[in-house]
Amino acid sequence: MALKIVKGSIDRMFDKNLQDLVRGIRNHKEDEAKYISTCIDEIKQELKQDNIAVKANAVCKLTYLQMLGYDISWAAFNIVEVMSSSKFTYKRIGYLAASQCFHEGTDVIMLTTNQIRKDLSSPNQYDTGVALTGLSCFVTPDLARDLANDIMTLMSHTKPYIRKKAVLIMYKVFLKYPESLRPAFPRLKEKLEDPDPGVQSAAVNVICELARRNPKNYLSLAPLFFKLMTSSTNNWVLIKIIKLFGALTPLEPRLGKKLIEPLTNLIHRLVITLHRASVEKNVCLIGLVLPIVCVCVCVSNAVLISLSSGMPNHSASIQTVPHCLYVSLVTVKYLGLLAMSKILKTHPKSVQSHKDLILQCLDDKDESIRLRALDLLYGMVSKKNLMEIVKKLMLHVDKAEGTTYRDELLTKIIDICSQSNYQYITNFEWYISILVELTRLEGTRHGHLIASQMLDVAIRVKAIRGFAVAQMAMLLDSGHLLTGNMQRNGICEVLYAAAWICGEFSEHLDDPMQTLEAMLRPKVASLPGHIQAVYVQNAAKLFATVLQKHEGATDSQAAQDTSQLLIERLPLFVQSANLEVQERASCILQLVKYIQKLQQKDVEVAEEVSALFAGELNPVAPKAQKKVPVPEGLDLDAWINEPPSESESEDEKPKAVFAKEEPKQSRARHIEVDEKELARRREARKQEQANNPFYIKSSPSSQKVYQDAPGVEHIPVVQIDLSVPLKVPGMPMSEQYLKLEEERRQKERADKKKKDKKKKKREKRGKGKRDDSGPESEEDITPAHQVDIVTEEMPENALPSDDDDKDPNDPHKALDIDLDKYVPSAENTLHKVTVCMLHAEKQGDLSITRHFLVFLVPLLVQKSLKNKKKKQKKEKDEKKKKKRHHHHHHHGDGGGGDSVQNGTVEEEEEEEPLPVSRFLPITEQKNTVYDIQGNLQDGSQVVVSVIFENKSNSFLKSMEFNVLDSLNSKLQRPEGASPHDGLVVPFQLPPGVSNEARFVFSVQSIVMPQKLKGTLTFIVKSEDSSTHEKLDFKLHFTCTSYLITTPCYSDAYAKLLESGDLKSSSLKLEGLNMPFHHLLARICFHHHFSVVERIDSCASMYSRSIQGHHVCLLVKTVSS
């Protein structure tokens, strides 16, 4: 053995090994690149040899080179070779190289599947370990799918070393292949109680990561974690668990009560340690303890809120955290600020008292600290201190070196001021002057941000317009902005806003003529095109204003001078390279020329010219367009023109969508390109909107305000406070406002006292402002002048949607799986339903199937999981119906089946209802048939039409229909009615007469079938007596009753299938012996499907739920 090793070593003596390479590189500092290229050549030679040892050595060297930044992807195949060596020595190197350089795009990964599987089941735990480690770095969705089962088995391996790794890697697998979460979860849960602490902490880690995405699912684990928390001594695990509880407590208030005791103990212990540590300046200790305290404080706050009771220890910890700030160590300082920002959310007051300390942090040398402090300031402002804080920030802006930090300050100032729809601004003149001051910053990249704020304020705060216009005119006039940098998004963007405001609200201008002249200076031509365009357009508006002013005056010279000015200056813009500018300028130039002619004839034109720009522009919320509901019957996804087929060869093929050799690859790519293109367009549109003054960027909570903000007319008028000058001559100095504000507040306070004496009601503050958590005295601060913040417009029937903020690209979204949801098990003995995945079918596993039903349902896992259930239920229903078939017809003919159809046709004209009719119980007196119909307009409503037929000889009256509400479905009752009140049926029934009544139900989830119990009470009135009768019935809401027959073209259908967005499952039905077309007709009739295509004994069918889920169905007859 030893001899062999020595021999092998001697063989390799002459090869360069890793250490030689490293030395070589160090010795060739001057010509490193050259040296490495010769090394790579050598490595290529070595890789060609058969000896695996040589190869491994070469791969090892390559790994080093990869780290230095050289591309080694060409050697991917060799890496796989080394990985598959049977010797651990080489395998380890191979996996290391693979984990360093493989990624999802590496095509050889496909080759590794079997090798990895072999290594995972290797008897040597280190082989398995190395494979798991490697896999954790380069796992792809394919690998995750193929290996999920193997890894799941490893989770119960005998060696804790493997278990621990397997548990950890499961998180990566879940991310890539979310379907695996459900089957793996029970085992993962088991691992929380693993005897090995390593495995236990790994499981805690994974579950905490998972719970971050969807804490609701993990509520059931709370008792287990509670046990762990009280028993664990491992701080790492403790921190994770406490964090998890932080996410869980808001969902389950009872949990908070339980947590209070152990947490108080823990906090108490920690706070003492922390306090001592911060006094002794023992940093290490603080480092260990602080994160736990931070987390605890957050959790216990949640607890506190739910109990609304004080906890003495808690306030102690808050006292301690600021204490850390005095410790000079920056890291601790940072952590202190971080902790404060967490406390701020729940206890703003306790942080606000440390305002000076935080402001002091703004002077810190370290940018991280300054940024943290800025974040804190954002949450700390109130009406009272806003001006003061912003003043400090403005000082910092002046001092700040480095544009990044200055830009950060600038955005923060604007953020702070504009937060919650300008909640804290009491004086908008002050704000405008702050904005104007900010324009003096050189080299900022946020000109656009300032501009949009100016526009927003000027448009939405009507009272400020006069002041704003004066300031903007000054900006246009001063010209310092014209000398700044001209790049896009530079400070010159402000001129865009200035020009627009001056033009649009030109009636407020003192001297429009002067502004007009400023706007037509030759220097303007150096501005970016989009700004010039606005200049030109608004010059025309100003022109109209000037004309208006001079109209009727005896001296028409001034007006004519203005026309002359425009005619002289506009040609400059007509020559502009920018098309937009050119077009607008030439258009306006001609207009002015024409007007001049009219003026010379002494015709009054002002009226007509200003009519060009008449009308008020309203701010539109940026999301408004998205919220416009799609009109009924408009399918935005449908082709307007059928797309030309991609290639001729495809044309020749029959268009069978379920052909096995689906051209998946090529089409899929096509769609991808489309999506990219769409994204690009979306981006372009956003850009465009951003530059369009009619689209105003929303302030954070504009939507909330929307509800309680009435129109402009309803705003109570506040007395104008004469202590504030409405026009400040010269450039504004925001500082003046501070003093003015102080004076004003004092005066107000005095006023208030007087008023209080007189018991006079004080005017409420302006609209759009809600009570905040600030100190009570804030209520006393009234805005300086009337502030009417106009809310942004939304379409009238905007759809409420809360998914706006969800990022569709979030890789973790798929993990949002509802684990508590019961998924019916595959084997349903009663119906002999076999569920197998679609890919099983693709693999040709058809022998077991006779009647094959394939369902494809949308991507969203959550939906798909629910849908699975829905499908199976549906199947059951179908079965039942078939059994009851006889029964059905027997009564159906005599019943009101036809009239049901008629009734529903009237109700929903757009669709062809194919109702599922069933019978309510029949008594001698009555026969009732009902039909459930989805309501297209509202995804959460169904309309149930009930036909009441009186089969008795008596007269029926005072009928009351009542249904016991379930959690999911509720009968919609008139307002004010209790959930036990019945609905009065609005008619009486003479003998033999039938009539229809409709009831609306609101349904939360449409993916589960429902049975609702109900009663109908009525009075039977015969000639001599009248009796009170009761009839119990059940309403069955099957899943398919929420489907709406929707036609679908075969290519749209094919696209849907190829999109990969659908989940699939299939099942087999046995013992059906009706003709295929009967079967189809029946599915269509009872379950609202439409046939897309039928070939022989195969048919693809389509339907859509009222909530827009696509349901595709493939029905096949398979002869055994």
Partner 1 sequence: MRFMLLFSRQGKLRLQKWYTATAERDKKKMVRELMQVVLARKPKMCSFLEWRDLKIVYKRYASLYFCCAVEEQDNELITLEVIHRFVELLDKYFGSVCELDIIFNFEKAYFILDEFLMGGEIQDTSKKSVLKAIEQADLLQEVRVCDSLNWCPCAVHFSMPTTNKCERVSSVICVCLSSACLSQEDESPRSVLEEMGLA
Stretch that binds partner 1, among 94-102, 299-307, 883-891, 1082-1090 (CB under 8 A): 94-102
Question: Closer CB to partner 1, residue 81 or residue 504?
Answer: 81
Residues ≥6 apart with Cβ < 8 Å to 362: 370, 373, 374, 392, 393, 396
Residues 914-933 close enough to bind partner 1 by CB under 8 A: none
Task: Tell whether residue 174 is a contact of partner 1 (CB under 8 A).
Answer: no
Q: How many CB atoms lie within 10 A of CB 1080?
A: 16
Number of residues that bind partner 1 (CB under 8 A): 80
Stretch that binds partner 1, among 65-73, 639-647, 909-917, 1026-1034 (CB under 8 A): 65-73
Stretch that binds partner 1, among 34-42, 57-65, 180-188, 536-544 (CB under 8 A): 57-65
Task: Tell whether residue 366 is a contact of partner 1 (CB under 8 A).
Answer: yes
Closest of 70, 15, 59 to residue 37, by C-alpha: 70
Task: Tell whether residue 1032 is a contact of partner 1 (CB under 8 A).
Answer: no
Are 247 and 292 in contact, with CB atoms under 8 Å apart?
A: no
In whole angstroms, the minimum distance from the beta carbon of 487 to partner 1 comes to 22
The single residue among 44, 212, 876, 998 that binds partner 1, judged by CB under 8 A, is: 212
Are 519 and 532 in contact, with CB atoms under 8 Å apart?
A: no
Task: Tell whether residue 49 is a contact of partner 1 (CB under 8 A).
Answer: no
The single residue among 75, 371, 435, 929 that binds partner 1, judged by CB under 8 A, is: 371
Are 789 and 422 in contact, with CB atoms under 8 Å apart?
A: yes
Question: Closer CB to partner 1, residue 69 or residue 310?
Answer: 69
Residues 17-36 close enough to bind partner 1 by CB under 8 A: 17-20, 22, 26
Contacts 24+ apart (CB under 8 A), 1018-1027: 1018/926, 1018/956, 1018/957, 1018/958, 1018/959, 1018/960, 1019/956, 1019/957, 1019/958, 1020/925, 1020/952, 1020/954, 1020/955, 1020/956, 1021/954, 1021/955, 1021/956, 1021/957, 1022/953, 1022/954, 1022/955
Residues 95-154 close enough to bind partner 1 by CB under 8 A: 96, 99-105, 124, 126, 129-130, 132-133, 136-138, 140
Closest of 570, 604, 568 to residue 588, by C-alpha: 570
Please work out, in degrees rounded to the nearest 5, the angle formed at the alpha carbon of residue 728 by the alpha carbons of 724 and 732: 115
| 1112's tokens | 């595709």
The single residue among 88, 326, 987, 1085 that binds partner 1, judged by CB under 8 A, is: 88
Question: Closer CB to partner 1, residue 171 or residue 543?
Answer: 171
Stretch that binds partner 1, among 112-120, 194-202, 267-275, 889-897 (CB under 8 A): 194-202
Q: How far is CA 885 from CA 871, 880, 929, 931, 1033, in A?
A: 20, 8, 16, 17, 20
Question: Closer CB to partner 1, residue 73 or residue 689?
Answer: 73
In whole angstroms, the minimum distance from the beta carbon of 393 to partner 1 comes to 19
Which helix H or strand E contains 667, and what residues bound it?
helix 664-691
The single residue among 224, 288, 936, 1008 that binds partner 1, judged by CB under 8 A, is: 288
3-state secondary structure of 184: helix
Closest of 834, 877, 845 to residue 1065, by C-alpha: 834
Residues 1058-1097 close enough to bind partner 1 by CB under 8 A: none
Are 433 and 471 in contact, with CB atoms under 8 Å apart?
A: yes
3-state secondary structure of 202: helix
Stretch that binds partner 1, among 199-207, 435-443, 617-625, 743-751 (CB under 8 A): 199-207
CA distance 408 to 310: 38
In whole angstroms, the minimum distance from the beta carbon of 253 to partner 1 comes to 23
Closest of 750, 858, 807, 825 to residue 1109, by C-alpha: 858
CA distance 433 to 75: 63
In whole angstroms, the minimum distance from the beta carbon of 780 to partner 1 comes to 38
Question: Closer CB to partner 1, residue 103 or residue 681?
Answer: 103
Question: Closer CB to partner 1, residue 94 or residue 896?
Answer: 94
Stretch that binds partner 1, among 16-24, 827-835, 992-1000, 1004-1012 (CB under 8 A): 16-24
In whole angstroms, the minimum distance from the beta carbon of 445 to partner 1 comes to 16
Task: Tell whether residue 163 is a contact of partner 1 (CB under 8 A).
Answer: no
Question: Closer CB to partner 1, residue 168 or residue 943?
Answer: 168
3-state secondary structure of 789: strand
In whole angstroms, the minimum distance from the beta carbon of 702 to partner 1 comes to 25
Residues 289-328 close enough to bind partner 1 by CB under 8 A: 290-291, 295
Determine the length of the chain.
Answer: 1120
Task: Tell whether residue 897 is a contact of partner 1 (CB under 8 A).
Answer: no
Helix 253-280 with 283-307: angle, nearest 10 deg: 150
Q: How far is CA 116 from CA 86, 142, 155, 316, 1046, in A?
A: 12, 13, 16, 54, 47
Question: Closer CB to partner 1, residue 88 or residue 326?
Answer: 88
In whole angstroms, the minimum distance from the beta carbon of 626 to partner 1 comes to 24
In whole angstroms, the minimum distance from the beta carbon of 198 to partner 1 comes to 4
In whole angstroms, the minimum distance from the beta carbon of 61 to partner 1 comes to 10
Task: Tell whether residue 368 is a contact of partner 1 (CB under 8 A).
Answer: yes
For the chain, how many helices (H) and strands (E)?
A: 44, 15
The single residue among 84, 112, 180, 201 that binds partner 1, judged by CB under 8 A, is: 201
Are 983 and 991 in contact, with CB atoms under 8 Å apart?
A: no
Task: Tell whether residue 485 is a contact of partner 1 (CB under 8 A).
Answer: no
Q: How far is CA 995 from CA 943, 946, 1019, in A?
A: 16, 8, 16
Are 384 and 777 in contact, with CB atoms under 8 Å apart?
A: yes
The single residue among 73, 834, 902, 940 that binds partner 1, judged by CB under 8 A, is: 73
Task: Tell whether residue 592 is a contact of partner 1 (CB under 8 A).
Answer: no
In whole angstroms, the minimum distance from the beta carbon of 367 to partner 1 comes to 7
Residues 631-690 close enough to bind partner 1 by CB under 8 A: none
Task: Tell whether residue 69 is a contact of partner 1 (CB under 8 A).
Answer: yes
The single residue among 2, 577, 640, 717 that binds partner 1, judged by CB under 8 A, is: 2
CA distance 170 to 148: 8
Question: Closer CB to partner 1, residue 196 or residue 580?
Answer: 196
The single residue among 113, 115, 205, 411 that binds partner 1, judged by CB under 8 A, is: 205
In whole angstroms, the minimum distance from the beta carbon of 298 to partner 1 comes to 12
In whole angstroms, the minimum distance from the beta carbon of 980 to partner 1 comes to 46
Question: Closer CB to partner 1, residue 17 or residue 564?
Answer: 17
In whole angstroms, the minimum distance from the beta carbon of 181 to partner 1 comes to 16
Q: How far is CA 999 from CA 285, 928, 959, 1002, 1108, in A?
A: 67, 14, 14, 10, 22
Q: Which residue has the tokens 């959550």?
A: 862
Residues ≥6 apart with Cβ < 8 Å to 221: 189, 192, 207
DSSP state of 639: -
The single residue among 36, 47, 151, 168 that binds partner 1, judged by CB under 8 A, is: 168
In whole angstroms, the minimum distance from the beta carbon of 19 to partner 1 comes to 5
Task: Tell whether residue 600 is a contact of partner 1 (CB under 8 A).
Answer: no
Contact track, partner 1, 238-267, x by CB under 8 A: -x---x------------------------
The single residue among 214, 234, 736, 1046 that binds partner 1, judged by CB under 8 A, is: 234
Dihedral of alpha carbons 717, 721, 722, 727, sign: negative
Task: Tell whether residue 405 is a contact of partner 1 (CB under 8 A).
Answer: no
Are 203 and 224 in contact, with CB atoms under 8 Å apart?
A: no
Task: Tell whether residue 60 is a contact of partner 1 (CB under 8 A).
Answer: yes
